[in-house]
């Protein structure tokens, strides 16, 4: 399990670094130059025709630092969720395998547990860390020790509950990011309104360009943050659904392929 955590931690660090580099490069090379060009072109059109109705540009919508930060956090969280979804998909593939070789109608006695345990222990170490092999191995050891089928069922349930709590705790960072993204958007709102108030004297004199630009920052940052938060929360709930189904299916697998075959003389 320690190796699993360390590999996931390294993946998260690399994902964060790559996301920061890629998003910032896109902003420097594409988003901000095009937004600046669009704003200059728009200003020239307004000088020629003050009554002209201007169009909105997506580059202007996402050009500020708050939106860039929101994109970095959202893409990083999605990368982490993709990793966890891949883990869940690999574990689900084990549910299609016969990890304990038993024919229909065969029974498992306490004396058989050692031989059956060796089949699971013969799996690659990477597969032994998954939920189903751990639950089966725990169940066989409990049956060998107690010779009580109810204890075996409780042991399987405890292993699945522990896995569910572990997966739930590992979601804490993603939930924090999902909370932080709208907060960053509101920070942009506060910054934009503050800038607009700082240029109120220009608006009194008739120049509202600075005020409108600052208010654009305020509303754009909130809009982008809320949209990203909606997408992120949808992906988070889909991942939770995938993991919860895996836990339930793993417990059902243990019941179907092991517990119902147990027999005490």
Which of 159, 165, 140, 124 is CA-nearest to residue 250?
Answer: 159
Cα atoms in the 13 Å half-sphere on the side-chain side of 5: 6
pLDDT, tens digit (0-9, with 9 covering 90-100), for 130-152: 999 999 999 999 988 888 889 99
Query: Residue 97 — left, alpha, or beta (φ > 0 → left; ψ -120 to 50 → alpha)?
Result: beta
Task: Show Cβ contacts of residue 157 under 8 Å, excluding neighbours closer than 6 positions.
Answer: 251
**How much is the average pLDDT of 216-240?**
90
CA pair distance 246, 56, nearest whole angstrom: 45
Q: Would the pLDDT of 105 be above 80?
A: no
pLDDT, tens digit (0-9, with 9 covering 90-100), for 228-237: 999 999 999 9
The predicted structure's pLDDT at residue 214: 64
Asked whether 137 and 120 are in contact (CB, 8 A), the reply is: yes
Q: Which residues pair with 50 in a beta bridge?
A: none
The predicted structure's pLDDT at residue 106: 78
The predicted structure's pLDDT at residue 190: 84
Task: Please give the residue that has the higher pLDDT: either 6 or 240.
Answer: 240
| Average pLDDT over all residues of the chain | 85
pLDDT band at 39 (very low <50, low <70, confident <90, very high): confident
pLDDT band at 120 (very low <50, low <70, confident <90, very high): confident
CA pair distance 245, 251, nearest whole angstrom: 10
Which of 25, 29, 37, 36 is CA-nearest to residue 71?
Answer: 25
**How much is the average pLDDT of 25-33?**
93
**How much is the average pLDDT of 61-68?**
89
The predicted structure's pLDDT at residue 98: 85
Q: Would the pLDDT of 52 be above 70?
A: no
Q: Would the pLDDT of 2 be above 70?
A: no
Among 114-123, 163-172, 217-226, top mean pLDDT goes to 163-172
- The pair phi, psi for residue 120, each rounded to 5°, is -75, -40
Torsion angle of C-alpha atoms 51, 55, 59, 60, degrees rounded to 10: 30
DSSP state letter for 100: S
Task: Show Cβ contacts of residue 246 under 8 Å, excluding neighbours closer than 6 positions.
Answer: 88, 91, 92, 131
């Amino acid at each position: 399990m320690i190796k699993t955590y360390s590999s996931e931690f390294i993946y998260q660090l690399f994902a964060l670094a790559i996301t920061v580099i890629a998003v910032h490069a896109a902003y420097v090379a594409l988003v901000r130059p095009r937004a600046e060009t669009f704003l200059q072109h728009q200003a020239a059109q307004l000088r020629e025709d003050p009554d002209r109705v201007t169009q909105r540009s997506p580059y202007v919508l996402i050009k500020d630092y708050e939106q860039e930060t929101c994109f970095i956090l959202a893409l990083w969280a999605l990368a982490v969720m993709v990793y966890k979804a891949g883990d869940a998909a690999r574990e689900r593939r084990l549910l299609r395998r016969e990890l304990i070789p038993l024919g229909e109608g065969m029974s498992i006695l306490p004396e058989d547990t050692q031989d059956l345990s060796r089949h699971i222990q013969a799996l690659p170490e990477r597969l032994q860390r998954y939920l189903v092999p751990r639950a089966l191995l725990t169940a066989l050891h409990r049956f060998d020790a107690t010779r009580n089928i109810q204890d075996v069922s409780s042991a399987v349930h405890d292993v699945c509950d522990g896995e569910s709590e572990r997966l739930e705790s590992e979601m804490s960072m993603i939930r924090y990011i999902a909370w932080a993204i709208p907060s960053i958007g509101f920070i942009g709102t506060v910054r934009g309104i503050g800038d607009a108030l700082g240029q109120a004297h220009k608006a009194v004199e008739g120049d509202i360009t600075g005020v409108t630009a600052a208010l654009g920052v305020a509303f754009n940052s909130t809009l982008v943050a809320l949209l990203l938060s909606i997408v992120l929360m949808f992906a988070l709930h889909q991942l939770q659904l995938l993991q919860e189904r895996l836990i339930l299916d793993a417990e059902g697998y243990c019941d179907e392929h092991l517990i119902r075959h147990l027999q005490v003389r």
